[in-house]
Amino acid sequence: MRVAVARAGSNLAEREIKLSADLDLPTIELPSSYSPREVSDFDYLLVYRDSRLLLQGTGDTAIGELCVDFSDAKLNRRANSSIRNQNIAKALGLKGGLRPAVLDATAGLGKDAFLMASLGCEVSLLERSALVHALLRDGLGRDGYYGEEIAAIVLRMKLHFGDLLEFETNSKQFDVVYLDPMFPVRRKSAKVKKDMALLQQLLGHQTDGAELLDCAKLLAKKRVVVKRAKLSPPLGPGKPDIEFKGSSSRYDVYLIA
């Protein structure tokens, strides 16, 4: 996979130079107006635009771009729309003023972590892709970009880089461990969102689901929550203790004795 840090229209600035050094990636300069489809030397570009870091697919197969932005209107509508009655809140075991400490061990673009933080949970985000981690770090560290309400939610989100399979599992550090593994998109399903299609193109699909579940059970004090497609089999060989089913997805809950 060939990735470069790019800047359009002028010399590389300090932030591009730092990003390329942090990720050990080459840098390139592009014309002020360019199309990612015209770039053939790299599969993906990391580009700053309007104070946000974006990851763009390139070439003939370019299908869009990724950016972590917690001011997204659709995300916030869900966070503000009776989320305490939604399945994600039920799966976390929210009761009264109880707000569990959560490890989102497959953080992705951080949308589920944001929803959990909007419920009042302290959420640690673990991401094993260096590129996706860079997008998350940018989205979480955008000082002055978010309004007061969103900024308060973001403050409850703490980012970590690493793989759950290499995580220290000899102590119960979190009330809940949350998993949403990346699995192949079903070709016969409805239109897949471009950001999810690009994320899967970038990361591939995970084949270590059962191992992730075993590690999560070692870390969780109270429960492991696994987000699955509605008709998908359970993540591991055993059945979950509780299921919360929605129209297209479900949450499998494994209680820790």
Map out the domains of the chain as residue ranges: 3-62, 73-192+204-255
SS3 content of the chain, % helix, strand, coil (to 5): 30, 25, 45
The DSSP element (H or E) to which 87 belongs, if any, is helix 87-92
State residue 257's pLDDT score.
Answer: 80
Extract the tokens encoding 172.
């119960």
CA distances (Å), origin 161, targets 2, 8, 142, 199, 247:
21, 29, 18, 17, 32
Using 50, 70 and 90 to split pLDDT, how confident is the model at 48? very high
Architecture (CATH level 2) of domain 73-192+204-255: 3-Layer(aba) Sandwich (3.40)
Residue, of 147 and 208, whose pLDDT is higher: 147
Q: What percent of the chain has pLDDT over 90?
A: 59
Q: In what order do the strands lie in the sheet with 220-229?
A: 157-161, 123-127, 102-104, 174-179, 220-229, 249-255, 242-245
Given a cut of 80, is residue 9 above it in pLDDT?
Answer: no
Concatenate the DSSP letters of all residues of 34-66 into one string. Answer: --GGG--S-SEEEEEETTEEEEEE-STT---EE
Concatenate the DSSP letters of all residues of 195-247 into one string. Answer: HHHHHHHHH---S-HHHHHHHHHHHEEEEEEEEEETTSPPSSSSPPSEEEE-S
CB 179 within 8 A of CB 212: yes
State residue 51's pLDDT score.
Answer: 85
Using 50, 70 and 90 to split pLDDT, how confident is the model at 110? very high
Residues 208-245 pLDDT 10s = 788 999 999 999 999 999 999 988 899 988 899 999 99
> Is the Cα dihedral 47, 51, 54, 56 positive or negative?
negative
Residues 70-98 pLDDT 10s = 999 999 988 887 787 889 999 999 988 88
Across 27-31, 39-43, 149-153, 181-185, the highest mean pLDDT is recorded for 149-153
CB 119 within 8 A of CB 37: no
The pTM (predicted TM-score) of the whole model is 0.90
CA distances (Å), origin 149, targets 52, 152, 185, 197:
19, 5, 34, 30
Residues 166-216 pLDDT 10s = 877 666 789 999 999 876 555 544 445 777 777 877 776 666 788 999 999
State residue 188's pLDDT score.
Answer: 45
- Angle (deg, nearest 10), helices 194-203 and 130-140: 140
State residue 237's pLDDT score.
Answer: 87
Closest CA to 174 of 99, 86, 90, 238: 99
State residue 21's pLDDT score.
Answer: 95
